[in-house]
């Protein structure tokens, strides 16, 4: 048998090295593409906001021009007010739509102990791999709050897609049943716009009010159905 014969083990080792190298190159390309896509979206959003500001300014100027002394009637004034208010509402709705689209790939993680000696991105991916059923592809992380060096700092995590963010939020429900107390202290929530956060707060208040009302009604029913207390002779 020749000394330099290629054995199956050697072939397998070569194929593993080639596969690992290809995977590393592919991951690098995907990371660069994700960053480039994010920058492009942010740039387009800035352009849209600039255009909306110009539209809003033009509408305001038109309303001011229409309110000259030769149009001082009550009906004209009311019409101008309605037009201006409607325009502002439309502008805010468009901005809210763009904000929702931009935040759809984000999640907010709180309770995760950050470390200055470990990259936040690696920390998030390691936590997900250890405690969750998914290992999301993290594009970037950003610390949220006034003190970026705090160990309890919240993290705004941007993922590679809306589907990845949805899967991560679904998987995060198992943290409440984790035997590890540190994992149970971690919460993963969607990155909401101001309008979405206000709406969620209203829904929580309504649910609390309903539970309180149900509890009060149940207590009153039990009191009414209980037999009168009698002293034994």
The tally of domains found in the chain comes to 2
What is the predicted pLDDT for the residue at 1?
A: 45
**Lateral strand order in the sheet of 154-159:** 138-144, 154-159, 106-110, 187-190
E strand or H helix at 114, and its extent?
A: none
pTM above 0.75, yes or no: no
User: What's the CATH code of the domain at 123?
Assistant: 3.30.70.330
**pLDDT of the residue at 164:** 95
Count of CB atoms situated within 10 Å of the CB of 46: 10
The model's confidence at residue 59, banded by pLDDT at 50, 70 and 90, is confident
CA distance 192 to 128: 21
Query: Do the beta carbons of residue 84 and residue 59 sit within 8 Å?
Result: yes
Q: Could you tell me which residues are beta bridge partners of residue 142?
A: 156
Between 111 and 52, name the one with better pLDDT.
Answer: 111
Residues 98 and 125 in one domain: no
Return phi, psi of residue 43, to 5°. Answer: -65, -40
Mean of per-residue pLDDT scores for the chain: 80
Find the domain containing 167 and state its range: 106-190
The arithmetic mean of pLDDT across residues 159-187, rounded, is: 94
Angstrom CA distances, 139 to 14, 35, 49, stand at 31, 7, 24
- Which pLDDT belongs to residue 73? 57
Question: Is 117 part of a structural domain of the chain?
Answer: yes
In a domain, 82, yes or no: yes
Which tops the pLDDT comparison, 191 or 73? 191
Longest dimension (CA), the chain: 111
Q: Is residue 149 part of a domain?
A: yes
Same domain, yes or no: 110 and 156: yes
Backbone angles phi, psi at 105, to 5 degrees: -95, 5
Do the domain assignments include residue 55?
yes
pLDDT in tens, 192-228: 888 888 888 898 898 888 888 887 776 666 666 655 5
Give backbone dihedrals phi and psi of 7, rounded to 5 degrees, phi first.
-90, 160
Cβ neighbours, 10 Å, residue 29: 10
The pLDDT, as a whole number, for residue 5 is 63
Mean pLDDT for the stretch of residues 130-137: 93
Residues 14 and 98 occupy one common structural domain? yes
Weakest-pLDDT range from 2-11, 63-72, 74-83, 108-117: 63-72
């Amino acid at each position: 048998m020749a000394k330099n014969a290629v054995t199956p083990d050697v072939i397998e080792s070569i194929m593993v090295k080639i596969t690992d190298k290809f995977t590393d190159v592919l991951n690098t390309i995907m990371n660069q593409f994700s960053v480039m896509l994010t920058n492009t979206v942010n740039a387009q959003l800035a352009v849209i906001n600039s255009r909306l500001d110009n539209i809003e300014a033009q509408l305001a100027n038109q309303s001011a021009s229409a309110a000259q002394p030769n149009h001082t009637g009550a009906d004209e004034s009311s019409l101008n007010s309605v037009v201006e208010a409607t325009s502002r509402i439309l502008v805010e709705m468009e901005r809210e739509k763009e904000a929702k689209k931009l935040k759809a790939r984000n999640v907010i993680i709180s309770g995760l102990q950050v470390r200055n000696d470990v990259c936040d991105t690696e920390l998030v991916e390691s936590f997900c791999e250890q405690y969750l059923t998914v290992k999301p592809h993290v594009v970037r992380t950003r610390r949220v709050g006034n003190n970026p060096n705090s160990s309890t700092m919240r993290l705004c995590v941007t993922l590679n897609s809306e589907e990845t963010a949805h899967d991560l939020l679904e998987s995060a429900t198992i943290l409440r049943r984790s035997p590890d107390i540190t994992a149970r202290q971690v919460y993963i929530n969607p990155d909401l716009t101001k309008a979405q956060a206000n709406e969620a707060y209203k829904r929580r208040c309504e649910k609390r009010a309903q539970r309180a009302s149900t509890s009060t009604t149940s207590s009153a029913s039990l009191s009414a159905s209980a037999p009168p207390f009698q002293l034994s002779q």
